[in-house]
Amino acid sequence: MWCGLSVPQIVGAGLTIGLATALSPRTKINDAYDFVVVGGGQAGLVLGARLSDSNHTVLVLESGGDGDEYRTRIDTPADSYFDSLWTTPLNWDFYTAKQPNAEDREIEWPRGKVLGGSSAINGLYMTRPGKDEINAWQAMLGDMDGADNWSWDSFYAALKKSETFTPPSDAIAEQGGITWNSSNHGTEGPIHASYPDYTFDQVGDWSQSLQSIGVDISSNMYGGDVWGAEVSTSCINPSNWTRSYSRTGYLDPLPDRTNYDVLANAHVTRLIFDNSTSTNLTASSVEYTSDNGTTKSTVRVKKEVILASGSVGSPAVLLYSGVGPKDVLSAAGVDLVSELPGVGQHLQDHISATVKWSTSVDTAGSIWYENGADKNNTNYLSYIDDAIAYVNSTALYGSKVGEYEKKFLAQMDEYTPNTTTDDGVIAGYKAIYNTTASTIFTSPMGQIELLFMNSDANGDVGISAALQHPFSHGRIYINSSDPMDYPVIDPNYFANPSDIEILLEGIKMARKIGETKPISNNFTEEITPGSSVQTDEDWTQWLREQATTEFHPSSSCAMLPQDQGGVVDANLRVYGLANVRVADASIVPIALSSHLMASTYGVAEQASTIILEYYDPSSATDPAFSSSNVTAVSSSTATPKSDKKSSAAKAIRGLSNSWIPFVLGSMHLGVIFNLLL
């Protein structure tokens, strides 16, 4: 079951403390909105903020709560490791289906379930995709209307629009060996891109060791050249060393907007269509539940529904609404409303594994677990790992890149997923595969990402290798007609043997770095997998047993031509539906050489511009929200305005009796400073 929380809450956007009296908390949502955004996660709150900066009315519906009771753990970067939100209701806590090529394991797949979504629970890496990848995405769209918006130049501008960059202090820059180019970054966006205020000598040694084994220090990582070693930016607000995520960036600082409501604890069960035109259906309302499906409410849609429920949630909402592959819907017992074979298909995910060593020096983990002197200091608590490298095919295969490209292409037909017989979906698989082999593998883009990990519970250090461009495609589907049931997640890891072969080269490189000076100076002994793993066969078997998600699923509602199993067109409209778009990590058609957060901000910013331009051709949105605004968010229970929905209304009113209104802002500051100072 989707574990719904009990009390629906309206978060009236932007209750500036001094103005709160005249404005919210609002206790009612309206019967109808121009735009209904499904999912108040990372992308959903961007859409809510941008679309409501207009005269349109906007409602965001989020399954999870507001997260306020976990706010300190969300805000504190180091808590990502040491007091993780994975164990809380803020994590959907999905698991994959059994993975036959990974020892039949069911692999844990966390996803955020809270305002801010996965950006509230993720690892804060703020990396960007590359120019060649984004241009390859655009090329896959051909001459489709709107394809220009997915060129590197257009996407790069959207990435910059979402961020404000602050360089590290001189001391941190020196110790961590950090270099940057401010001109690649944004200066006025809602999300802070910066660096922790604490680092380790080993972080500073990273790039030098990489260089010694032939992976150069990168010179333009944030300008589209995603290869080489560096220290990445993280989504940290340097004014108080807190996590900067879509709630703090795009919701909390908003001025009060009476046209914008955010309803938490509201799980969308389906879209309801006006079926007067069967080939181009209009979503007339959105159905949701605040009590685990016992009762349902609906809200009318005046203009559009925008799905932003993520790579798992967006295909699931479409499928439960009857939009998807015929075979999947009929097996699940859901009435077909609009046949769209690509929904949930083309799923791609990064898969990774970590070599670990014991070390003779302090690590982030040893300071935490052994109560080191800095443990309670704000600057230490801002530390999260950020030494990174993207290794391209030249660094992996030298002069044999062309040979490998041919070999991979030759395996395309043999490993075509057999879970669909749809010609379009298969054509899409081949188009993505061909782009991955012929355009991306042969480009200078990273194929493997390497990460230095300093936060192990035993005080150990690790080096991870993660496959960035999998040839194996999986899918998200449903096997029930009850929208409270979790969808099935099948990433199909290692179905194509090329994936494990490439990751094998990456993991051997991880070991090699750990044996290369200067970073190796204070590594004492390899403890995982250790000396028993030596041959390629040993490593391959170990990867099947150990490799796990790097948390970057994409492409389950891929932007592709309709005859290639696409779900959305270049304007993000779902094929066959008149007024439904998808705008989140699920629309990216090819896996990118990057953690997905920055790209998801880029997608959501582009989507907002496209939608506003469609309705208000002359509109220009604020480039930024003032970061100096001290604001608060207030919560309230929802009571539907109409008493006609009697059972739902009663259930919600019953709960509302026990609800105590509060203004978060001042309380919140108090809590944080007590813990951090």
Ligand X SMILES: *[C@@H]1O[C@H](CO)[C@@H](O)[C@H](O)[C@H]1NC(C)=O
Ligand Y SMILES: Cc1cc2nc3c(=O)[nH]c(=O)nc-3n(C[C@H](O)[C@H](O)[C@H](O)COP(=O)(O)OP(=O)(O)OC[C@H]3O[C@@H](n4cnc5c(N)ncnc54)[C@H](O)[C@@H]3O)c2cc1C
- Smallest CA-to-CA distance from 116 within 244, 276, 257, 295 is with 244
Q: Which does 376 bind (CB under 5 to 8 A by kind): ligand Y, ligand X, none?
A: ligand X
Compare residues 50 and 595 and give the one whose CB is closer to ligand Y.
595
User: Both tokens of residue 219?
Assistant: 């010179």
Residue choice 76, 207, 284, 309 for contact with ligand Y (CB under 6 A): 309
Q: How many residues bind ligand Y (CB under 6 A)?
A: 39
Compare residues 121 and 437 and give the one whose CB is closer to ligand Y.
121
Give yes or no for a contact between 386 and 234, defined as CB atoms under 8 angstroms apart: yes
For residue 201, the surrounding DSSP H or E stretch is: helix 201-212
Within 125-144, the residues that bind ligand Y by CB under 6 A are: 125
Q: Which stretch binds ligand Y (CB under 6 A): 37-45, 196-204, 211-219, 627-635?
A: 37-45
Closest separation in Å from C-beta 291 to ligand X: 4
State the Cα–Cα distance between residues 150 and 495, nearest whole angstrom: 29
> For the chain, percent helix, then strand, then coil, each to nearest 5?
35, 20, 45
Helix axes 536-546 and 497-514, enclosed angle (nearest 10): 100
Compare residues 291 and 529 and give the one whose CB is closer to ligand X.
291
State the Cα–Cα distance between residues 51 and 33, nearest whole angstrom: 12
Residue choice 8, 67, 77, 117 for contact with ligand Y (CB under 6 A): 117
| Among 56, 267, 552, 668, the one annotated catalytic | 552
Residue choice 8, 12, 14, 39 for contact with ligand Y (CB under 6 A): 39
- Smallest CA-to-CA distance from 290 within 655, 658, 661, 663 is with 655
Report the DSSP pairing between strands 523-528 and 488-490: unpaired
Contact status: 395 vs ligand X (CB under 6 A): yes
Q: Which stretch binds ligand Y (CB under 6 A): 151-159, 161-169, 309-317, 641-649?
A: 309-317
Task: Compute the residue count for the chain.
Answer: 677
Provide the β-strand partners of residue 33: 301
Contact status: 219 vs ligand X (CB under 6 A): no
Is 533 known as a binding-site position? Answer: no
Closest separation in Å from C-beta 532 to ligand Y: 30
| 552 is a catalytic site residue | yes
Give yes or no for a contact between 35 and 56, defined as CB atoms under 8 angstroms apart: yes
Q: Identify the DSSP state of 119.
A: G
Compare residues 67 and 529 and give the one whose CB is closer to ligand X.
67
Q: What is the DSSP string of 590-622?
A: S--SS-SHHHHHHHHHHHHHHHHHHH-TT----
Give yes or no for a contact between 156 and 224, defined as CB atoms under 8 angstroms apart: yes
Site string for ligand X, 197-216 (x = CB under 6 A): ------------------xx
User: Both tokens of residue 432?
Assistant: 């993505």
Radius of gyration of the chain (CA): 24
Q: Which stretch binds ligand Y (CB under 6 A): 114-122, 323-331, 410-418, 422-430?
A: 114-122
State the Cα–Cα distance between residues 432 and 439, nearest whole angstrom: 10
Q: Which does 552 bind (CB under 5 to 8 A by kind): ligand Y, ligand X, none?
A: ligand Y
Residue choice 25, 129, 228, 313 for contact with ligand Y (CB under 6 A): 313
State the Cα–Cα distance between residues 491 and 554, nearest whole angstrom: 10
Contact status: 258 vs ligand X (CB under 6 A): no
CA distances (Å), origin 658, targets 6, 7, 12, 27, 661: 12, 10, 20, 14, 10
State the Cα–Cα distance between residues 594 and 317, nearest whole angstrom: 26
Contact status: 310 vs ligand Y (CB under 6 A): yes
Site string for ligand Y, 235-274 (x = CB under 6 A): --------------------------------xx------
Contact status: 63 vs ligand X (CB under 6 A): no
| 469 is a catalytic site residue | no
Site string for ligand Y, 556-595 (x = CB under 6 A): ----------------------------xx---------x
Q: Which stretch binds ligand X (CB under 6 A): 161-169, 389-397, 561-569, 587-595?
A: 389-397
Give yes or no for a contact between 632 and 606, defined as CB atoms under 8 angstroms apart: no
User: Both tokens of residue 441?
Assistant: 């593998």
Question: What residue type is 535 in one-letter code?
Answer: T
Contact status: 410 vs ligand X (CB under 6 A): no
Who contacts 241 (Cβ-Cβ below 8 Å, separation ≥6)? Answer: 77, 196, 197, 378, 379, 381, 382, 676
Compare residues 75 and 261 and give the one whose CB is closer to ligand X.
75
Residue choice 24, 42, 52, 54 for contact with ligand X (CB under 6 A): 54
Residue 89 three-state SS: coil
Closest separation in Å from C-beta 627 to ligand X: 5
Residue choice 76, 248, 298, 600 for contact with ligand Y (CB under 6 A): 600
Give CA angle at 613 (49, 149), nearest 5°: 95
Q: What is the DSSP string of 474-538?
A: BEEE-S-S-TTSPPEEE--TTSSHHHHHHHHHHHHHHHHHHTSTTGGGGEEEEEES-TT--SHHH
Residue 13 three-state SS: strand
Contact status: 499 vs ligand X (CB under 6 A): no
Residue choice 9, 52, 127, 149 for contact with ligand X (CB under 6 A): 149
Site string for ligand Y, 332-371 (x = CB under 6 A): ----------------------------------------
Contact status: 677 vs ligand X (CB under 6 A): no
Contact status: 454 vs ligand Y (CB under 6 A): no
Who contacts 95 (Cβ-Cβ below 8 Å, separation ≥6)? Answer: 106, 107, 108, 109, 489
| Among 267, 346, 350, 595, the one annotated catalytic | 595
Closest residue to ligand Y, based on beta-carbon distance: 41
- Smallest CA-to-CA distance from 224 within 128, 151, 147 is with 128
Within 21-40, the residues that bind ligand X by CB under 6 A are: none
Residue choice 242, 297, 348, 636 for contact with ligand X (CB under 6 A): 242
State the Cα–Cα distance between residues 276 and 339, nearest whole angstrom: 16
Residue choice 52, 76, 119, 637 for contact with ligand Y (CB under 6 A): 119
Closest separation in Å from C-beta 316 to ligand X: 18
Within 616-645, the residues that bind ligand X by CB under 6 A are: 616, 625-629
Residue choice 111, 346, 475, 573 for contact with ligand Y (CB under 6 A): 111
Contact status: 478 vs ligand Y (CB under 6 A): no
User: Both tokens of residue 304?
Assistant: 């559009």
Continuous H helices in 213-292: 246-250
Compare residues 227 and 494 and give the one whose CB is closer to ligand X.
227
Residue 85 three-state SS: helix
Is 114 known as a binding-site position? Answer: yes
Catalytic residues: 552, 595
Note the residues at the interface with ligand Y (CB under 6 A). 38-44, 61-64, 110-113, 117-119, 121-125, 267-268, 308-310, 313, 317, 551-552, 584-585, 595-598, 600
**Interface residues toward ligand X, by CB under 6 A:** 3-4, 6, 54-55, 75, 146, 148-149, 154, 215-216, 227-228, 237, 239-240, 242, 255, 275, 280, 291-292, 360-361, 371, 373, 375-376, 392, 394-395, 418, 434, 438-439, 444, 518, 521-522, 578, 606, 609-610, 616, 625-629, 669, 672
Question: Binding-site residues for FAD, please?
Answer: 114, 268
